[in-house]
Chains A and B, each alone.
Chain A
């Protein structure tokens, strides 16, 4: 299917983008104050990655690599695993231990990357 290249994570990050414009989102930006880059691969880590920047300094989500210098932490996920982590189905530590999440950059920044910063999708 033509749209099969679309990632599940796209939906979540789109929601995140909008969420950051709300009061609750601004609270998160204020609280975290870090820039995360997230590389999401459809099936296999490192292959055909789509890169997002979740800028919790400015309160933005953008596609493509971070251009404002070095992100505080960079994560690599498979699409499915990112959804699991962002929705609290998989704890980031487990993800890390299982190799489902790779981390580059500051460990303390990485530790603030929790499901709490993401808005939750609602079900129809």
Chain B
């Protein structure tokens, strides 16, 4: 889309029933862009430049305006001041250069008048019209600029002309200089640099504008010599003569390097005219400021971001115009850079990117990313969508576009870049009021977690158990016995390590695996998203590596209970406890089919009830069939607590909670000291909104097993579900104090903190600072 779309506003700006070229600016753009074969090619590659896709975009209501306007019978109607034209013009107006803007308008209006239009579109290089050099200054300027455009059409060297005093302000001049040097690169995309320079120089010298970007700011003496040289060479400029000045050449090349339609469109988008750079920088600054705020969230990579911020700050101090323009041109890359930084893709190492070397950095970075999809293009497209739609549609557009793109990784940065900074802040910041930075950081956090967890999860889904690193029990003479002792003492995290040592030693020890799975479940860390202890985190922080990345390499566990249990089942396929545990775990994960499979397996492998099952049961296992078999079994031996337990789990699967509660209560009568059974009862009650009862059941479980982390966490859930958030926080913190790896509890704690309006503690939660949390929420 880029330039053409921006200028033309697409088909929607057209008078209905006519082609988009009936739009005056469109006609202009066609004339201008169309004259450049190179540019044309590029434009055709961009799908959104077709009229069809832009049908619903861009101020469809302006059609009515157009119709109402006098002179709209003309194919080439008047410039619509409220439509995209004003966007275009505001670029010129932003620096209070009304004179220039009017002049521009003037050009546009002339465009409406058939004779001028014919000139415009005249076949072949028409003889250059002599610019009108009398009349009011605006008229003169307009005419003059018009003739410059004409020259581009005819590819004829533009002749500098002596003009009467126009009284252009510095702002006007700068604006004309900036615009003309950019636009010339489009007009003459197929011409040499020298030619373009000459054209621009001719234009500027006629208008008595120095082709020198330094208009504002302190002017140190160091460019004096250059200036003199420049002034001298300016005087010698004749048609076709190349500009000889080294700085100018460099400057122009720099321009040219970024003078492609995207960059032009981007620059055009900014609509800041002479102050474009300043506001650009403000925007980036504001983004950087928010990044700065996020440093509080203990994500080591933000240190690197801080460096980025400092770098930007140094750039801001730098008055070197060359560099400032470099930044303007580079800002797409710059934003890309920042967003890459924020993803942790780029890390600034000491001495690698120094503020002092910032100029080199720009070049280096540009080189590195020259092949990447242009951010400017993305931005321009996004801008266009934003302009044309309300936020709701924007969301839809956004969602639709998401689908069309490639991999998640690249997508994320693209989408992030596309987000207009302000919208971003607004949309995502408002959610937790003043905690926008936290919020954002948390989002980032989770994104990283997701990324890291992805592989782990796929491992886990294949039943791969990932071990802890640095296990002190490796080499222990009898880790199984040690593990069992620790488990009985309720030291679950220690038991996990000992049992891991056991199964490392004896990979086919079903009991080792089973108890390991049970320990994970009771420790409520079977759903780890991944953590490192503080030492680990600090270690990696020092090395400026995202600790989650380190996690990936150091071994991280997800769905550990199921993974361990599957190994146990491998070692002992008919172990009833293992089969039941797998059924329970899958029920917890709401994985009905898998749960049903294992629970049925329990029945089939049971010495007493196995006869009830039909061995050749088809793949399609009906819940009702399995439930019926278990009911039969429970009638067969009503004194067998196990049958009632399995039945209770089955009823959980079908969400017949009352029946499930009945089954568990029956089982508890037979086995009143089974803490895990109390917890099952409690969980069932909680899931059927009997949270008050659930708390009593959990209390029973905890009386029997005080270190039962899952029961503590479940307590928290039950309080939270009753809206007693402060209470729930205390229980979550208690659970976490026992097992900081209980990720579910961390997630729920965060939600409860928000619900209880304790956002002040979110940081402690995000940084997993248990000391602070325990002090604040003692139980």
Contact = CB atoms under 8 A, between A and B. Distances in A.
A97 B722 contact: no
B687 A121 contact: yes
Interface stretch (A17-25, A48-56, A60-68): A17-25
B570 interface: no
Residue with the greatest number of chain A CB neighbours at <10 A, chosen from B446, B591, B597, B720 = B446
A104 B655 contact: no
Nearest to B416: A97
Nearest to B401: A99
A103 B415 CA distance: 16
A2 B622 contact: yes
B399 interface: yes
Interface string A2-38: 1110101001101100110111100100000000000
Given A3-B622, A111-B427, A106 B392 contact: yes
Given A24-B722, A122-B714, A14 B655 contact: yes
A3 to B, nearest CB: 5
A124 to B, nearest CB: 4
B747 interface: yes
B747 A88 contact: yes
B408 A2 contact: no
A24 B686 CA distance: 13
B747 A87 contact: yes
Given A4-B592, A27-B723, A102-B399, A97 B623 contact: no
B428 A93 contact: yes
A70 to B, nearest CB: 11
B412 interface: yes
A91 B524 contact: no
**Secondary structure class of chain B's binding surface, majority of residues:** helix
Instruction: Kindly state the interface size class of chain B when it binds its partner.
Output: 35 or more
B395 interface: yes
Contacts of B687: 15, 121-122
B723 A122 contact: no
Nearest to B427: A107
Looking at chain A, what size class is its interface with the partner chain? 35 or more
Contact of B450 (A45, A90, A99): A90
B396 A104 contact: yes
A23 B623 contact: no
Contacts of B723: 23-24, 27
A11 B655 contact: yes
B94 interface: no
B124 to A, nearest CB: 51
A122 B682 contact: yes
A116 B755 contact: yes
B584 interface: yes
Contacts of A94: 443, 446-447, 450
Contacts, number: 144
Contact of B621 (A2, A45, A115): A2
Contacts of A105: 392
A103 B683 CA distance: 33
B585 to A, nearest CB: 9
A116 B391 contact: no
Contact of B443 (A11, A88, A93, A120): A93
Contacts of B713: 123
Interface in B503-524: 521, 524
B652 A88 contact: no
B721 A88 contact: no
Contact of A124 (B428, B587, B619, B750): B587
A97 B443 CA distance: 10
A83 interface: yes
Interface string A67-98: 00000000000000001000111110110011
Contacts of A104: 392, 395-396
Interface in B578-631: 584, 587-593, 596-597, 619-623
A14 B722 CA distance: 16
Nearest to A112: B431
B619 A123 contact: no
B688 interface: yes
Contact of B721 (A19, A45, A97): A19
A24 B590 contact: no
B362 interface: no
Nearest to A120: B717
Contacts of A97: 412, 415-416, 443, 447
A87 B529 CA distance: 13
A116 B620 contact: no
B333 interface: no
Contacts of B691: 22
A22 B593 contact: no
A24 to B, nearest CB: 3
Nearest to B440: A93
Contact of A98 (B408, B442, B596, B721): B408
A15 to B, nearest CB: 6
A2 B442 CA distance: 39
A114 to B, nearest CB: 7
A68 to B, nearest CB: 19
A44 B594 CA distance: 20
B402 interface: yes
A107 B694 CA distance: 37
B688 A18 contact: yes
Nearest to B652: A124
A53 to B, nearest CB: 19
Given A11-B655, A94-B443, A94-B446, A124 B683 contact: yes
Interface in B433-488: 439, 442-443, 446-447, 450
A2 B620 contact: yes
A90 B457 CA distance: 15
Nearest to B521: A123
A122 B443 contact: no
Contacts of B391: 107
B652 A123 contact: no
A106 B390 CA distance: 10
Contacts of A11: 590, 655
A123 B524 contact: yes
Nearest to B660: A124
A115 B744 CA distance: 13
A89 B428 CA distance: 18
B751 interface: yes
B562 to A, nearest CB: 12
A94 B445 CA distance: 10
A3 B721 contact: no
B689 interface: yes
B587 A103 contact: no
Contacts of A116: 751, 754-755
A22 B446 CA distance: 31
B529 A89 contact: yes
A89 B720 CA distance: 16
Contact of A83 (B590, B592, B754): B590
Contacts of A99: 399, 402-403, 408, 411
24 contacts: A1-B597, A4-B593, A8-B590, A21-B689, A83-B590, A87-B747, A89-B527, A94-B447, A97-B416, A98-B408, A98-B412, A99-B399, A99-B411, A103-B396, A104-B392, A104-B396, A107-B427, A110-B395, A114-B754, A115-B751, A116-B751, A122-B714, A123-B744, A124-B684
Given A87-B744, A105-B392, A110-B395, 6 more contacts: A22-B689, A90-B446, A97-B447, A119-B689, A124-B652, A124-B676
The 4 closest A-B pairs by CB, nearest first: A24-B723, A8-B590, A122-B683, A99-B402
